[in-house]
Amino acid sequence: MKHIILLLSMVLCGLVLSAQPAIDLSELEGQSCISIMVGKRASTDGSVINSHHCDGRYRTWMHIVPAADHQPGSTYKVPRGTMHTAYYGDTTGVRVMGQLPEVQHTYAYLNTSYPCMNEKQLFIGETTFGGPEILVNDKGWFTIEELERIALLRCDNARAAVRLIGSLVTQYGYGDGGECITIADRDEVWQMEILGEGPDKVGGIWAAQRIPDDHVGVSANIPRIGRLQRENPNYFLCSDNIEKVARKYGLWDGKGELIFWKVFNCDWAKGKNFREREFFVLNALAPSLNLSMDMDELPFSVKPDKGVDVQQVMELLRSTYEGTDMDMCKNIKMVVNRKGADGVVKVDTVTSPIANPWMGSDMQRTLNYLKPGTVEFQRTVSVAWCSYGVVAQLRDWLPDAVGGVSWVALDNPGQSPHIPVFCGTTRMPSTYDVCGQHGYNEKAALWKFRKANKLATVQWQRTKDIMEKQRTTLETKALKGLEKLEHQVVTIHNGTLSDEQKAAQIANLLNDYTYSHYDAAVDAWQQLEQRYWTMFGMGF
């Protein structure tokens, strides 16, 4: 046992920096991102909740794009290639696909890699499902992130966003593989799945289904919409060409009813509309349904056994299946000697300190070489290769400026704290101005959290309680402070100042709140980094 522990300690430092799983990488192609949605009657306080984890090496700079008025005859340039830029305004690798007539007024929005929230409490999440490659036509003007952007610029509610996106796809074309976007406002949340129309036509097909108000839903890189419920436009909208395209490319024989997820499914779904993540989330929220991985199909959405709050959504998005049969750490054990209260030394078997759910491929291969079957790779909900995660609360009883709040976490959301950014926030801390993915950069917000996170992973079983306690403290303080902040904003909103004066005062309050909690989080993670170096000063 001693020589095994020594070997693992020697190789561990290099292992945690690798985010590549010990499986054929083609099995993970496209399996990046997740979104959990909660209807307003399924949440504990009446919030609509939506979310997005941006898994992969995407840009981490973030910017508030202000609202704007536009002159008649002006145009909007549809870009492609913004997701790996280094800073706001960087045009490296960006090209213009076409130009649209501009609208008179556009809304302010939070410009993340996948643009996510505007000033009107409209929030959009995203997950890729790929679908049949035969439908991809890269001559289409729009990729999914640009559809999100234009919806946030022009729409103040989810249903309008669905219709706008559908019309743009039809008229100007969708130019990427299958994507799902989850679109929420103060009142409802929709799941919209989009694909191209094939190489012969610039266009697209799409279907959108509303999550019932008392239900929760999840999208994790597999199409989940089933029957085309055109008879129920309050809960279902779709393009009129779905059956035609499916038959044209041999994806459906025209017999019986077309089931969207079956016809346009992806290889990694293994013929189902779910895998581990969808099952885990829905089963955790509705255990009374006795859902099973052995089922052929999971419901599109489920009614949770009890109300869901934003912290619960954060925890689900942090999940690594700890304590379940899918726990990657369950077999990584070691023997220790413990002295009991009676002074007698006893031998005990415990989880090894080096066991962590984000092991790189080298670590997994090493453990499985020493003992085959020690680690069975799982695509966990939170992953080490995540760029950022966002969980949004949308609340119709508050002014939009403070009613919509996105809780943003950089790097691995299974470790990092969430920082509040509001619909009325007008500026981000300066460290968000630059992407942290282009190399080590002390000025990038990403590295304010990544250093402690990666160091903690070296001996996660020793460090995780310390990190989780600090994260809980920060997030709880930020959540508890909302009530006072909301009261201040409502007081100003209902006061006698001019609209311009109100907006300025409210923006100052919200900006200060975002900055103060960001500063506290950065300071806490710097202290964690120093503490971990002290813990490991004599070696790992």
Q: Which of 432, 517, 331 lies closest to 88, judged by CA? A: 432
Task: Give Cα 489 to chain centroid, integer Å.
Answer: 28
Mean pLDDT for 294-303 is 97
- pTM exceeding 0.85: yes
What pLDDT score was predicted for residue 28? 56
Judge whether residue 19 has pLDDT over 60: no
The band of 338, judged by pLDDT with boundaries at 50, 70 and 90, is: confident
What pLDDT score was predicted for residue 9? 37
> Looking up tokens 């289904």, which residue turns up?
209
Dihedral sign (CA 168, 169, 172, 175): positive
| Structural element, H or E, at residue 419 | strand 419-422
- Secondary structure of residue 334 in the 3-state scheme: strand
What pLDDT score was predicted for residue 29? 57
The band of 343, judged by pLDDT with boundaries at 50, 70 and 90, is: confident
Residue type, 36: I
The band of 450, judged by pLDDT with boundaries at 50, 70 and 90, is: very high
Judge whether residue 104 has pLDDT over 70: yes
Least confident among 139-153, 170-184, 352-366, 406-420: 352-366
pLDDT in tens, 170-184: 999 999 999 999 999
Query: What 8-state DSSP symbol labels residue 197?
Result: -
Cα distance between residue 184 and residue 216, in whole Å: 12
Cα distance between residue 527 and residue 72, in whole Å: 53
- CA distances 168 to 80, 161, 175, 204, Å, are 15, 11, 12, 9
pLDDT in tens, 241-258: 999 999 999 999 999 999
The band of 538, judged by pLDDT with boundaries at 50, 70 and 90, is: confident
Mean pLDDT for 143-148 is 98
What pLDDT score was predicted for residue 17? 35
CB atoms within 10 A of CB 510: 24
Mean pLDDT for 106-126 is 98
What pLDDT score was predicted for residue 14? 36
Q: What are residue 336's DSSP bridge partners?
A: 348
DSSP character string of 501-539: HHHHHHHHHHHHHHHHHHHHHHHHHHHHHHHHHHHTTT-
Average pLDDT along the chain: 93
What pLDDT score was predicted for residue 347? 85
What pLDDT score was predicted for residue 540? 85
What pLDDT score was predicted for residue 21? 39
Cα distance between residue 224 and residue 180, in whole Å: 9
Q: What is the 3-state secondary structure (H, E, C) of 373-412?
A: CCCCCCCCCCCCCEEEEEEEEECCCCCHHHHEEEEEEECC
> Looking up tokens 């999550």, which residue turns up?
211
Judge whether residue 197 has pLDDT over 70: yes
